[in-house]
Amino acid sequence: MDLLEFARGPALQTAAYILVAGTIWRIVGIVMLKEKADYSEPRGRGGFFAALKVIWTRAFTAEPFKKATMYPKMMAYVMHIGLFATIFLFTPHIVFFEGWMGFDWPGLPNSVIFFIGVATVISGVALLVRRMTSPVLKMISNFDDYFSWFVTMLPLITGLLIPVRVLFQYEDLLAIHILSVALLLIWLPFGKLGHAFLVFITRGTTGMVFERRGART
Amino acid sequence: MNYTPTVGQILQAKGVSRRGFLKYCATTASLLALPPSMIPRIAEAIENARRPSVIWLSFQECTGCTESLTRSSSPTVEGLIFDAISLDYHHTLQAASGDQAEAARHAAMEENDGNYLVLVDGSIPMGNPGFSTIAGISNYDMLMETVAGAAAVVAIGSCAAFGGIPGANPNPTGAVSVKDLVTDKPVINVPGCPPIPMVITGVLAQFLTFGAIPDLDKHGRPLAFFGNTIHDRCYRRPFYEQGKFADTFDDEGAKAGWCLYKLGCKGPTTYNACATVKWNSGTSFPIESGHPCLGCSEPRFWDKGGFYQPLSTGHFGSGAKLAGAAVAGAALGVAAAAAGRRRQAKFTREA
């Protein structure tokens, strides 16, 4: 078994099992926690629509913070949209998902994906620099933040290296790329990358609690 | 004293023109990535070389490699060069058989001790000597006896180079490659199922020219021919970059000649010269005729997943195992929540 076969086979399989088990563990563990009793008089209904409202409004910056957070917000958007495009709109990736799910969708030309990938890495580096230079962010950052950044950027960087063939041959770079994806999948449920599947649960919960207490959302 | 004609004299006798011969030398230089200044040296070396003695051993094989070399649509210069070598032993091509054939092999080995080339096609069964024998001699014994006095060994085809089809899982005969057994002689792997005739003769030409084995890659293949992937040199590569793919063998994309990646093409991971040298006197190669590359010049290509399975298709494991992981995750989640609830209750009581 060569490195590519190992990456495509046992490594990816193990990562998938850990991803599935870890994700469901986190979601079930959080959802089944007992809700804290709130004896205050409700100032709003705090239902499902309150959750949806905050999920929507938190996608944008509140007016007072707009100027101060414009730069990181833009970089974060570029990074997340870039990640989405490189993962889901690159044809070899679509072929991968098709092999797994049985259906496909149109992709973007490779040159466009390459450009998006480079922009994504640049935005990721910009966010890291900000995290390392801002005194407040630096103080509240821990290993989880930096390692999550690392495992997110690694598949992007290794993926971008494949067509330019730097240091290694195609099949070795492809194997390294898949192994880096396996590392990402393994880490995803347990660190701050868990926001990939928790973001709407946490924001929705915040929305319900805030509206019940009468906070402006 | 026996008169041995040079390769140049033999080609002249066969009617190969000076222009045709130099054209072959120029093509060979180009394939070997040598500068034009090397063309006269190649020509001189080939012209003046005495007919090198070649012993061709065929073991567990299908004769496709020999077919590849001999079924040229017209007599090519490289074919004639091959004629010009002294092929002293070849099961399929020689007229002699039985003891006579074996005597010819032994005579060639004695007369050219230390100077002859051994070309091998087919893998060697190590499970049982009786799986494949020639004149009652096991493939292993014949190989080891023959290579003892050889200058170099060329493993022709993927079976000899990597074990090939006989070595595919579950490898019932315990087939191994030449390189697995021959460790004290230079071994050049010329894989392919079959290998390109021009690549075979190109390797021989380089050996005749420089008297040394060419630069090899990690799989023992000459870098001059196996330095680039099929994908690197494929004329359909622009379609890959543009994201234009054939989804089936008869859709509009296939008719328009778009990239065959989604149909399982192994071009990106296959090192060979098909896309540049091509087949059938430079007519085309598999991708040009509409079929994805199978990756036949790569080790264990039979065991690397389906031929029509795209390269980027991963293996997420079985649905049952994923479901098992989900159940395990849910159980862990319930346990974690129960522990959390106990902690909550404890804090509430304390408060």
Cα of A208 to nearest chain B Cα, Å: 21
Most confident of A41-55, A160-174, B39-53, B222-236: B222-236
Sign of the CA dihedral with B92 first, then B98, B100, and B103 last = positive
**Which residues in A lie closer than 8 A to residue B324 (C-beta atoms)?**
17
Find the CB nearest B229 among A26, A110, A170: A170
CB contact under 8 A, B329 and A20: yes
Find the CB nearest A110 among B240, B312, B324: B240
- Tokens representing B257 are 């000649």
CB contact under 8 A, A99 and B262: no
Contact with chain B for residue A107, Cβ under 8 A: yes
Helix (H) or strand (E) holding A126: helix A110-133
Cα of A169 to nearest chain B Cα, Å: 9
**Which residues in A lie closer than 8 A to residue B337 (C-beta atoms)?**
28-33
Instruction: Count the Cβ atoms, other than its own, within 10 Å of residue B22.
Output: 15
The 8-class DSSP code of residue A212 comes to H
Residue of chain A with shortest Cα separation from B344: A34
**Which residues in A lie closer than 8 A to residue B322 (C-beta atoms)?**
16-17, 20
CB contact under 8 A, B336 and A20: no
Reported confidence tier of residue B81, pLDDT bands at 50, 70, 90: low
Contact with chain A for residue B217, Cβ under 8 A: no
Q: Supply φ then ψ for residue B124, to 5 degrees.
A: -110, 120
Q: State which fold the B7-226 domain adopts.
A: Rossmann fold (3.40.50)
Contact with chain B for residue A178, Cβ under 8 A: yes
CB contact under 8 A, B241 and A27: no
Share of chain A above pLDDT 90, in %: 58
Find the CB nearest B322 among A4, A17, A36: A17
Q: Note the Cα A21 to chain centre separation in Å.
A: 18
Reported confidence tier of residue B83, pLDDT bands at 50, 70, 90: low
Contact with chain B for residue A96, Cβ under 8 A: yes
CB contact under 8 A, B340 and A23: no
Task: Look at strands B150-156 and B187-190 and give their pairing.
Answer: parallel
Check whether B30 has a pLDDT greater than 80: no
Mind listing the pLDDT tens digit for each residue in A96-129?
888 888 888 999 999 899 999 999 999 999 999 9
Check whether B1 has a pLDDT greater than 60: no
Mind listing the pLDDT tens digit for each residue in B157-205?
999 999 999 999 999 999 999 999 999 999 999 999 999 888 887 887 7
pLDDT at B133: 92
Q: How many CA atoms lie within 13 A of B195 on its CB side?
A: 34
CB contact under 8 A, A12 and B315: yes
Contact with chain A for residue B262, Cβ under 8 A: yes
**Which residues in A lie closer than 8 A to residue B229 (C-beta atoms)?**
170
Cβ contacts below 8 Å, chain A against chain B, sum to 121
With 0-12 CB in 10 A as exposed, 13-18 as middle and 19+ as buried, what is B231?
Answer: buried
Cα of B237 to nearest chain A Cα, Å: 11
Tell me the domain boundaries of chain B. 7-226
The alpha helices in chain B, defined as continuous H runs, are 7-13, 18-31, 39-48, 64-70, 77-84, 98-111, 139-147, 157-162, 178-181, 197-210, 223-226, 230-233, 237-242, 252-255, 274-277, 319-350
Contact with chain A for residue B349, Cβ under 8 A: no
Mean pLDDT of A75-94: 95
Share of chain B above pLDDT 90, in %: 51
Check whether B60 has a pLDDT greater than 50: yes
Distance linking the first and last C-alpha atoms of chain A: 55
Contact with chain B for residue A23, Cβ under 8 A: yes
pTM: 0.79
